[in-house]
A and B are shown apart, each in its own frame.
Chain A
Amino acid sequence: MHTTRRNFLKISLATTVSATAAISPAIRAATTRHVIVIGGGIGGSTAAKYLRLMDDRIKVTVIEPKSHYTTCFMSNEFLGGERDFKSLQFSYAGLARHGVDLIQDRVTAIDADKQQVKTAGGQTLHYDRCIVSPGIDFRWEAIEGHSAELAERIPHSYQAGPQTLTLKKQLEAMPDGGTVIIAPPANPFRCPPAPYERTSQIAHYLKTHKPKSKILVLDDKPNFSKQKLFEAGWKRHYGYGSSNSMIEWISVDNGGHIESIDPKTNTVSAQADDFKADVINLIPPQKAGRLAFQAGLTDTSGWCPVDHQTFESRIHKNIHVIGDSAIAAPLPKSGYAANSAAKVCAAAIVSLFNDTDIIHPSLINTCYSLIAPNDAISVAMVYGFEKGKIIKMKGAGGLTPEDASDQMRAREAAYAHSWFNNMTHDIFG
Chain B
Amino acid sequence: MLKPHVFSLLLMAGLCSSSPTQADPPTTASMLANACAACHGLNGSSQGPATPSIAGISAVYFIDAMTAFQEDERPATVMNRIAKGYSEEQIELMAEYFSQQPMIRTDQPFDPELARKGDALHQNNCEKCHENGGRASDDDAGILAGQKIPYLRYTLDDILNGKREVSVKMANKLKTIHKSMGQDGIEQLLNYYASQK
**Direct A–B contact present (CB less than 8 angstroms):** yes
Residues of A within 8 A of B (CB): 1-5, 8, 19-23, 26-27, 29-31, 50, 336, 339-340, 343-344, 347, 352-353, 355-364, 366, 378, 380-385, 393, 395-398, 400, 408, 411-412, 414-415, 417-419, 421-423, 425-426, 429
A353-B1, A357-B21, A426-B37 are known contacts. Are A21 and B82 too (CB-CB below 8 A)?
no
Q: Is the CB of A419 within 8 A of B28?
A: no
CB 8 Å contact bits of B73-90 with A (1 = contact, 0 = none): 001011001111110001
Q: Is B168 an interface residue (CB 8 A)?
A: no
User: Which of B47-55, B57-65, B112-120, B182-190 lies at the interface?
Assistant: B47-55
* B41 CB contacts on chain A under 8 angstroms: 422, 425-426
* B42 CB contacts on chain A under 8 angstroms: 20, 425-426, 429
Q: Is B101 an interface residue (CB 8 A)?
A: yes
Q: How far is the CA of A302 from the CA of B68 in the complex (A)?
A: 43
| B window 5-30: CB within 8 A of A | 5-6, 9-10, 13, 15, 17, 21-22, 24-28, 30
A336-B38, A362-B35, A418-B46 are known contacts. Are A385 and B51 too (CB-CB below 8 A)?
no
* A419 CB contacts on chain B under 8 angstroms: 38-39, 51
Q: Is the CB of B27 within 8 A of A417?
A: no
* A1 CB contacts on chain B under 8 angstroms: 9
Q: Is the CB of A364 within 8 A of B46?
A: no
Q: Is the CB of B47 within 8 A of A425?
A: yes
Query: Nearest residue in B to A50 (C-beta to C-beta)?
Result: B34
Minimal beta-carbon separation of B80 from chain A (angstroms): 9
Q: Is the CB of A382 within 8 A of B86?
A: yes
Q: Is the CB of B15 within 8 A of A344?
A: no
Q: Is the CB of A355 within 8 A of B2?
A: yes
* A417 CB contacts on chain B under 8 angstroms: 49-50
Q: Is the CB of A397 within 8 A of B51?
A: no
Top-3 shortest CB links A-B = A382-B85, A396-B85, A393-B85
Q: How far is the CA of A393 from the CA of B91 in the complex (A)?
A: 14
Q: Is the CB of B77 within 8 A of A418?
A: no
* A411 CB contacts on chain B under 8 angstroms: 50, 77, 154
Identify the interface centre among B33, B42, B84, B85: most chain A CB within 10 Å of its CB. B85
* B100 CB contacts on chain A under 8 angstroms: 19
* B141 CB contacts on chain A under 8 angstroms: none
Q: Helix, strand, loop or mixed for chain A's interface?
A: mixed
Minimal beta-carbon separation of B53 from chain A (angstroms): 10
Minimal beta-carbon separation of B57 from chain A (angstroms): 15
Minimal beta-carbon separation of A336 from chain B (angstroms): 5
Residues of B within 8 A of A (CB): 1-3, 5-6, 9-10, 13, 15, 17, 21-22, 24-28, 30-43, 46-51, 75, 77-78, 81-86, 90, 100-101, 148, 150, 154
- Sample (23) of A-B pairs whose CB atoms are under 8 Å apart: A19-B43, A19-B101, A20-B34, A20-B42, A20-B43, A27-B10, A27-B15, A27-B17, A30-B9, A31-B6, A340-B35, A347-B31, A363-B35, A364-B85, A366-B39, A408-B77, A411-B77, A414-B49, A417-B50, A418-B47, A418-B49, A422-B51, A423-B38
Given contacts A381-B85, A425-B47, 9 further A-B pairs with CB under 8 A are A3-B13, A27-B17, A352-B1, A353-B1, A357-B21, A364-B35, A364-B36, A393-B84, A422-B46
* A22 CB contacts on chain B under 8 angstroms: 28, 30-31, 34
Q: Is the CB of B9 within 8 A of A3?
A: yes
* A21 CB contacts on chain B under 8 angstroms: 30
Q: Is the CB of B10 within 8 A of A397?
A: no
* A384 CB contacts on chain B under 8 angstroms: 27, 85
Q: Is the CB of B82 within 8 A of A359?
A: no
Query: Nearest residue in B to A399 (C-beta to C-beta)?
Result: B81
Q: Is the CB of B31 within 8 A of A359?
A: yes
Q: Is the CB of B10 within 8 A of A364?
A: no
Q: Is the CB of A421 within 8 A of B47?
A: yes
Minimal beta-carbon separation of B92 from chain A (angstroms): 14
* B22 CB contacts on chain A under 8 angstroms: 357
Query: Nearest residue in B to A368 (C-beta to C-beta)?
Result: B78
Minimal beta-carbon separation of B123 from chain A (angstroms): 29
Q: How far is the CA of A429 from the CA of B46 in the complex (A)?
A: 12
Minimal beta-carbon separation of A245 from chain B (angstroms): 28
Q: Is the CB of B77 within 8 A of A412?
A: yes
Q: Is the CB of A360 within 8 A of B26?
A: yes
Identify the interface centre among B17, B22, B42, B48: most chain A CB within 10 Å of its CB. B42
Q: Is the CB of B15 within 8 A of A26?
A: yes
Q: How far is the CA of A336 from the CA of B78 in the complex (A)?
A: 14
Q: How far is the CA of A22 from the CA of B83 in the complex (A)?
A: 21
